[in-house]
Chain A
Amino acid sequence: MKHANTTFIKSFGFSLLVLLAALPVSYADRGQHAGRGEHTSRGGKATRVQSLRAPSLRAPAQRGSALVNRSIHGTIRHVDTHAFARPLSVGRDAYVQQRVITHHDVEVDVNRSRYWHGFVFGARHHALRSGYVRILVNNSPYFYDDGIYYQQTGDYYQEVYPPLGANIVQLPDGAVEVFSGNIPYYYAAGAFYMQQNGGFIITSPPMGVTVTELPPGALQVSIGAGMAYQFNGIHYRPVFANGVTQYMTFMP
């Protein structure tokens, strides 16, 4: 009898231990999936499915792993083929930190209208809109407004090509980051900018880089047997890059 009692106590104690050990697991599991379970009307199947759900599925993204950009979406087979590290801090403005477009998904078709899309070389205006800035480039006065440069001629402000050496504080809206080797440039309205001393300066165009759109008003020209575009002395040749038409700078 004493032996039986001892066995019973041992068994009970063991069961109690198992129970105590198991309950937190059960509760943890319920807590983890309760929210999602409410959205599922199919009781049995849902419970089983939930128990299979890997609790750490979102973990990699939530752990703050480096963000990436992709030039192509819509494939699992090549999901990582065109994934690149996202620049950590790129700003149009050293103070405001507005964002620069660091990549385009080439397939995406969204109408992105920029102020500088309206650039017409030689167009004259009686007045500039508010927000323009005066700048000096090689001792010549210019007026600058979001990608468009003007020079005063008599009573007019005339739209001119982006002058080499112009130094601006903020990149034009929609400036796109392009790389020549490992050197980053920012392209907008037919000008290539480099970051310098807290601002951005127009530099000579790097050859062999592709941009997603032509400058506004680029002229079609014949180069040998081929066709190209020209804007402010810079030549662009259409090429298929990442499967869509883009434009590569070149020296004719």
Chain B
Amino acid sequence: MVALGCAAALSCLGGCATSPREAGAEGGTATQAENGDRAKPVIDPQADELMRRMCDYLAQAQTFSVTAEVWQDVQLDSGQQVQAGRTVDLQVRRPNRFHAEVHSTRHSRGLYYDGTSITLLDRVHNLYGTVPAPATLDDALDVASERFGITLPLEDIIVSDPYQSGMGKVTSGILLGPVTVLGVACEHLAFSLGTVDWQLWIEQGARPVPRKIVITYKDEEGTPEYAAILSNWDFQTTLPDNLFTFEPPAGTLMINVAEIKSENQARKNGVK
């Protein structure tokens, strides 16, 4: 009987160490991988809950400002990988106002969205260009990216529903636990979209804002990373209309904004 009990206990250790929920998750993943579909993402409920909390917090914020330091891997011609940096100062007023200033050593750009148009300002060359835009921030983001190739900085946190926008493509997610980012206690989350990995560090406590974002492109040579460290979150300061309305500075020239949709589609032929 002792042997039986021992066997039963051991069998439970071996076979039952994973809870039914976890077992289902592992099984689901295997099936998912074999089938090659994205039907059932495998997401740690705690990671999902934290993600939802952050996204809800951002979605409910009517206005906010944040500064990001962005570091991005880039390959030199020799194949050596180096990092390039820039800063982003971002202001958002929901549902249809956006302004960003992007600065690096050799570049300085402003991006404005006022509910009717998107304007790009190249401060180095004194050039600007304007395109009409839809009336909501989400639609404006999509038109900007898909039609004009303009990806507004940190767009994943400024959409009206960051959870739906970001998590729709996620195939797995885990919670890696507490980590400090620039002295701020955060929870470290890691998601995967298959060929792209996505990590977030979310501030602990009553204000669950992202403090760091890393995207790893595993389907690109050298698996380059994009990293943004976010600071100076401000949900209190009033953001007036003129912050989002573009007025051409003296001496600037207007140029066209090239539509890249057709070019992209042509190049995508035979890609996927």
Contacts and interface: CB of A to CB of B under 8 A. Distances in A.
Interface of A: 8, 11-12, 15-16, 18-19, 21-23, 25-26, 29, 40, 42, 45-46, 48-49, 51-61, 65-86, 98-99, 101, 105-112, 173-174, 179, 181-182, 210, 226-227, 237-246, 248
B180 to A, nearest CB: 14
B149 A245 contact: no
A181 to B, nearest CB: 8
Given A101-B77, A239-B256, A72 B149 contact: yes
Interface in B103-152: 104-107, 109, 111, 120, 122, 124-125, 127, 129, 141-142, 144-146, 148-151
A242 B260 contact: yes
Interface string B238-272: 00000000000000010111101001101110111
A129 B14 CA distance: 71
Given A55-B29, A82-B151, A243-B148, 6 more contacts: A60-B194, A74-B215, A82-B264, A173-B77, A240-B120, A244-B107
A106 B177 CA distance: 34
A48 to B, nearest CB: 7
Contact of B159 (A40, A46, A77): A77
A105 B107 CA distance: 13
Which residue, B171, B175, B217, has most C-beta atoms of chain A within 10 A? B217
Interface residues of B, dominant DSSP? mixed
B255 A26 contact: no
B7 A109 contact: no
Given A54-B192, A79-B169, A19 B220 contact: no
B179 to A, nearest CB: 11
B218 A15 contact: no
A107 B226 CA distance: 11
B206 interface: no
A47 B148 CA distance: 46
Interface in B214-247: 215, 217-221, 223-224, 226, 228
A98 B197 CA distance: 30
Given A86-B221, A210-B258, A76 B156 contact: yes
A99 B78 CA distance: 8
A241 B262 CA distance: 13
Contact of A242 (B3, B150, B194): B150
B22 interface: yes
30 contacts: A8-B1, A12-B4, A18-B15, A21-B15, A22-B10, A22-B14, A23-B14, A25-B15, A29-B18, A40-B177, A46-B177, A52-B44, A54-B26, A55-B29, A57-B197, A58-B218, A60-B194, A60-B219, A69-B220, A74-B153, A74-B215, A76-B165, A81-B146, A84-B271, A109-B104, A110-B76, A174-B77, A240-B148, A240-B256, A245-B124
Which residue, A53, A112, A174, has most C-beta atoms of chain B within 10 A? A53
Interface in B48-92: 70, 72, 74, 76-77, 79, 82, 84-86
Contacts of B181: none
B156 A61 contact: no
Contacts of A109: 84-86, 104-107
B7 A16 contact: yes
B7 A111 contact: no
A27 to B, nearest CB: 9
A245 B109 CA distance: 10
A77 B44 contact: no
Interface of B: 1, 3-4, 7-8, 10-11, 13-15, 17-18, 22, 25-26, 29-30, 32-33, 42, 44, 70, 72, 74, 76-77, 79, 82, 84-86, 102, 104-107, 109, 111, 120, 122, 124-125, 127, 129, 141-142, 144-146, 148-151, 153-156, 159, 165-166, 169, 171-172, 174-177, 192-198, 215, 217-221, 223-224, 226, 228, 253, 255-258, 260, 263-264, 266-268, 270-272
Nearest to A109: B104
Given A45-B177, A109-B107, A15 B271 contact: no
Contacts of A239: 129, 255-258
B220 A15 contact: no
B255 A237 contact: yes
Nearest to A101: B77
Given A8-B4, A107-B72, A110-B74, A79 B193 contact: yes
